[in-house]
Amino acid sequence: MKSVASAYVLANKSNLRCPICNGVNELYGISLFQQEFALPSFLGQGAYRRVQVKPSMEIFMPDVEFYEAMRLCGSRGAPLYGFAFSFENSLVWRRGKVEEELNCGESYLFCGYQGEGVYCYQPGQRYQGIRIEVEPALLVGLLKLAGGKENWPNENEFVRRRTSPSIALILQEIVGCRYEENLKKLYLEAKILELAAVYIQELVLEKQLKRSRLGLSLADMNALGEAKRLVEESLAVPPSLGELAQRVCLNEYKLKRGFKELFGLPVHAYVIEKRLEKARFLLEKRTFKVTEVALHVGYQDFSYFAARFKKKYGVTPSTIGE
């Protein structure tokens, strides 16, 4: 599988022998799990780190401070899909005639960025951040699962947003990973997948927030998402509306109205829908009896379960379970 960053090259047009560019380029020419390039002491302090989690997933972590102003040009022949986060100070960079800025506590989502960018470093300022690159199918697949296909940015477009506390925690866990070798690879891959899923879900919620007619806040949207998760995890014995509202810190009115607006069904109808979907999944596996499936998804009355199932799917549970 081709590396996600195999076509990335750094250059300094005013100094073709720039040791910074040579050092970073060497990182991209080495097929090791993780490597580091420390700044020459006469130019600054800090280091660039690169971790190749797998050919289709890698992490690049700069933590540097230069003694003089630096302008470095990054050229990318292959499209970039992934995320960039700033932990400290603002990084200014230019793509063509457009000037971009990534401030402390902000992030970019890259959707197929390709070309040349000039990165401008001011002297005496620490630049710390992380760039995570993944294969396009991962982001596109997650967006489809989140139900936000229509909100996907165009190719070569950027999404700039504040880094949420949830994302900041995952980044902290990635940077502070203490595992070694194969365990570290597994851990980092899992964390990057978690980060991508949370990031995409937040994007979709923010889009829905702009369209909301109920005046919901982002905190409300997150609470409704948590309510949906709690319901799906306890289909057999779901919490009452009052219990659910209390657990997600919303009043019952906002929970009822907001849940229906976001997910298309009232809470009770959503429970029924998901129960029947899970029942069909279990029946198609043919590892459980029909009565066992009915009990598993929360139906004590088999006749009522069979009627509900036939109304939704047009066949009886026994037909599928045979």
**What are 217-249's pLDDT values in tens digits?**
778 888 888 898 899 889 999 999 999 999 999
Reported as a pLDDT band with limits 50, 70 and 90, residue 154 is low
Distance of alpha carbon 81 from alpha carbon 76, whole angstroms: 12
- DSSP assignment of 123-153 equals TT-EEEEEEEEE-HHHHHHHHHHHT-GGGPP
| Tens-digit pLDDT profile for residues 162-195 | 888 788 989 999 999 989 889 999 999 999 999 9
In terms of pLDDT, which residue wins out, 308 or 214? 308
Angstrom distance (rounded) from CA 311 to CA 289: 20
Does 146 score more than 70 pLDDT?
no
Mean pLDDT of the chain: 85
The predicted-structure confidence for 262-310, as pLDDT tens digits, reads as follows 788 899 999 999 899 888 888 887 778 889 999 999 999 989 999 999 9
pTM of the shown model = 0.67
pLDDT per residue as tens digits for the range 82-117: 999 999 888 888 777 778 888 888 998 888 777 778
Q: Averaged over 37-45, what is the pLDDT?
A: 93
Residues whose CB is less than 8 angstroms from the CB of residue 114 and which lie 6 or more positions away in sequence, other chains included: 76, 77, 78, 79, 80, 156
pLDDT at residue number 59: 95
Confidence of residue 203 (pLDDT cuts 50, 70, 90): confident
User: Cα 34 vs. chain centroid, distance in angstroms?
Assistant: 22
Q: How far apart are CA 148 and CA 140, in angstroms?
A: 10
Task: Inform me whether the pLDDT recorded for 250 exceeds 60.
Answer: yes
- 16 pLDDT more than 90: no
